[in-house]
Chain A
Amino acid sequence: MRTLAVDFLLRESPNAIAIVDTKLNFISYSNEWIQKFTLNSNDITNKHFFDVTVELPETLKTAIINGIKGEKNINTGEKFTLPSGKTLWLKWKILPATFEANEFDGVIIFLDDITVYKKEIELLHKAEEVARIGCWELDLNTGLVNWTKTTKDIHEVDENFKPNLEDGINFYKEGIHRDNITHLVSTAIADLKSFHTELIIITAKGNEIWVAAKGEVEIVNGKAIKIVGTFQDIDERKKIELAHKEITERLKITNQSAKIGTWDYDLIEDKLVWDNEMYRIFDVKKDQFSGVFEAWSSTIHPNDKEKTVTATKNAISGIKDFDEEYRIYHQNGSIRHIKGISKTIKDFSGNPVKMTGANWDITDLRSAELKLEQNSKLFAETFEHSAIGMALVSPELKWLKVNRSLSKSLGYTEEELLNMKTTDITYPDDLTDSEAFKTKVFNNEENNLQLQKRYFHKNGKIVHAIIGVTPVKDLKGKPSHAITQFLDITDSIDSKRRLETLVDVTKSQNESLTNFAHIVSHNLRSHSTNMTMLTKFLNKEKDENERKNLNKMITSATESLTETIAHLNDVVQVKTGALEKLQSISVLNTINQITKSINGLIEEQKATINIDVSKSHFVNAVPAYLESIFLNVLTNALKYSSPNRNPSIKIKSILKKDHVLITFTDNGQGIDLDRHGDKIFGMYKTFHKHKDAKGIGLFITKNQIEAMSGSITIESIVDVGTTIFIELKQS
Chain B
Amino acid sequence: MKKVEICCIIDDDPIFVYGTKRIIKEVDFANSVIVYNNGQEALDGLMKTCIANEPLPDVIFLDLNMPILNGWEFLDEFKNCKSPRSKKIVIYIISSSVDPRDLERVKNYDQVDTYILKPITPDDLTKILGALVES
Interface residues of A (CB under 8 A from B): 518, 521-523, 525-526, 529-530, 532-534, 537, 553, 556-557, 684-689, 693, 695
Contact = CB atoms under 8 A, between A and B. Distances in A.
Contacts of A688: 67-68
A686 B19 contact: no
A148 B21 CA distance: 169
A530 B95 CA distance: 12
B15 A687 contact: no
Interface residues of B, number: 19
A518 B67 contact: no
A525 B65 CA distance: 12
Contact of A537 (B13, B19, B97, B99): B19
B98 interface: yes
A526 B98 CA distance: 11
Contacts, number: 59
B48 interface: no
B49 interface: no
B15 A532 contact: no
B87 interface: no
B119 interface: yes
Per DSSP, are chain A's interface residues mostly helix, strand or loop, or mixed?
helix
B98 A518 contact: yes
B13 A534 contact: no
Nearest to B101: A518
Contacts of B15: 530, 533-534, 553, 556-557
B119 A522 contact: no
In the complex, which of the residues B37, B65, B101 has the most CB atoms of chain A within 10 Å of its own CB atom? B65
Given A522-B96, A526-B118, A695-B67, 10 more contacts: A525-B96, A526-B96, A529-B96, A530-B13, A530-B15, A530-B16, A533-B19, A556-B15, A685-B67, A686-B67
Nearest to A676: B68
Contact of B119 (A518, A530, A684, A687): A530
Contact of B65 (A529, A556, A684, A693): A684
Nearest to B69: A675
A533 B67 contact: no
Contacts of A525: 96-98, 118
Contacts of A521: 96-99
A529 B118 contact: yes
B68 A518 contact: no
29 contacts: A518-B97, A518-B98, A518-B99, A518-B101, A521-B96, A521-B97, A521-B98, A522-B97, A523-B96, A525-B97, A525-B98, A526-B13, A526-B16, A530-B13, A530-B119, A532-B119, A534-B19, A537-B19, A537-B22, A553-B15, A684-B65, A685-B67, A686-B67, A686-B68, A688-B67, A688-B68, A689-B37, A689-B67, A695-B67
Nearest to A532: B119
Interface string B50-79: 000000000000000101100000000000
